[in-house]
Amino acid sequence: MRRAHLVLAAVLVFQLVVIALLAAPWSGEQVADRGALLVPDLAAKTPDRIAIETGEGERVELARTDAGWTLPEVDGYPVDDKRVDELLDALEQVRVRRPVVSSARYHERLEVADGKFQKRLRVWAGGDEPIADLYFGTSPQYQVQHVRRAGEDAVYEARGLASWQLRTRADGWVDKHLVDVPVERVARVELTNASGSLALVRDGEQGWRLDGGPAVDEDKADALVRQLASLWISRPVGRRDDAEHGFAEPAARWVLVVTPEDAGDEDGSGDEGAGEAAGAKEPERITVLVGREDDGDRLVTREGFGYTAAVSPSSVEKALTASVSSLAAGS
């Protein structure tokens, strides 16, 4: 009898598992039917414009140029192409199956209506009409969103496109690193601000020294170099304008002299001539300018970049205030 009970229990468990699989929205019958692509034309097209907006009116537009993706509403400020590629790759793979609802009366409740939606995504590939015009709404479960094609009543459940990929702020699409240099590769720092000019030189294992100045407080010097070698922007501003942005007479200017990644004698031979014969790279010079204040931020640019960004005041505080006397040992 005990064996019979175990067999019956096993059969019952199996039946419950089968029922659960059949009831699951992304399994059972739908495993065999992968559904239709949400944007079937995307794979064969080359998108050149993207617009994403929220129902509250926050909006961003991206445009492709010969140099890559840009923000046309921010004077063509360059976009991180990888983020755009991730969005388009994810969108290309999204599939939908049978509609959740097929009547327009449910659109507002699911927040995919023309006048009430969470996100709207449009993609163009030449021409005036978008190849994709989608309304994204509520999320019935983790990593699943209700979505509706513009001009249609049917609403589907879609997964594979994360909400965070539908960024509607310009700062969500740009590379936030205006300067990003490993501190150990910084060989020299030259800084000019209202307090004057100074230069810090890396002195091998001895650490930092003030070029032509007194002994330096190593901790203060290291903190300054770390801030200057890693500068994150808070938002893009537009094309560089020296007069308008305060770079003609900058509040601070610094130069980082950076050794090449492959610099140094990896095999320990110390053969300087061999290094020259191999075509050793010259150190890189990165120049940063700090301009005027702007809406509580500071405007900054990097030589050769051609654009202006805003940073938090705290991220350039040391650049604005450091001096020979403040870095001197015992100060």
- Per-residue pLDDT in tens (0 to 9) along the chain, 331 residues: 566 666 566 656 555 554 454 445 544 444 446 789 999 999 999 999 999 999 999 999 999 999 999 999 999 999 999 999 999 999 999 999 999 999 999 999 999 999 999 999 999 999 899 999 999 999 998 889 999 999 999 999 998 898 889 999 999 999 999 999 999 999 999 999 999 999 999 987 778 999 988 899 999 999 999 999 999 999 999 999 999 999 999 999 999 999 998 755 444 444 544 445 456 689 999 999 999 999 999 999 999 999 999 999 999 999 999 999 999 987 7
Look up tokens 């005041």; give the residue: 313
Q: Which helix (H) or strand (E) holds 201?
A: strand 196-202
Q: Give the count of beta carbons closer than 10 Å to the beta carbon of residue 259.
A: 19
| Residue among 250, 227, 255 nearest 308 (CA) | 250
Residue 319 near residue 246, CB atoms below 8 Å:
no
Q: Report the topology of domain 177-262+278-327.
A: Immunoglobulin-like (2.60.40)
pTM, to two decimals? 0.82
Give residues with Cβ within 8 angstroms of 55, minimum separation 6.
111, 115, 116, 117, 118, 119, 120
Strand order in the sheet with 49-54: 77-78, 68-71, 59-65, 49-54, 119-124, 132-136, 144-149, 155-159
Q: Tell me which amino acid residue 26 is.
A: W
| Interatomic CA distance for residues 174 and 73, integer angstroms | 13
Q: d(Cα 78, Cα 247) in Å, to the nearest integer?
A: 20
Strand 49-54 with 119-124, pairing: antiparallel
For residue 191, how many other CB atoms are within 10 A of its CB?
Answer: 25
DSSP state of 1: -
Domain boundaries, given as residue ranges, for the chain: 35-172, 177-262+278-327
Give the span between the Cα atoms of 297 and 10, in whole angstroms. Answer: 66
Which residue, 122, 153, 117, 155, is CA-closest to 137?
Answer: 117
- Distance (Å, whole) CA 121 – CA 81: 18
CB 158 within 8 A of CB 97: no
The structure tokens listed for 95 are 């599939």
φ/ψ region of 17 (left if φ > 0, alpha if ψ in -120 to 50, else beta) reads alpha
CA distances to 10, 229, 254, 262, 309 from 177, rounded to whole Å, are 58, 10, 16, 22, 11
Judge contact between 217 and 252, C-beta under 8 A.
no
Alpha-carbon gap, residue 108 to 115, rounded angstroms: 8
In the chain, the amino acid numbered 293 is E
Instruction: Write phi, then psi, for 264 (nearest 5 degrees).
Output: 105, 165
Taking only the tens place, the pLDDT of each residue in 226-283 is 999 999 999 999 999 999 999 999 999 999 999 998 755 444 444 544 445 456 689 9
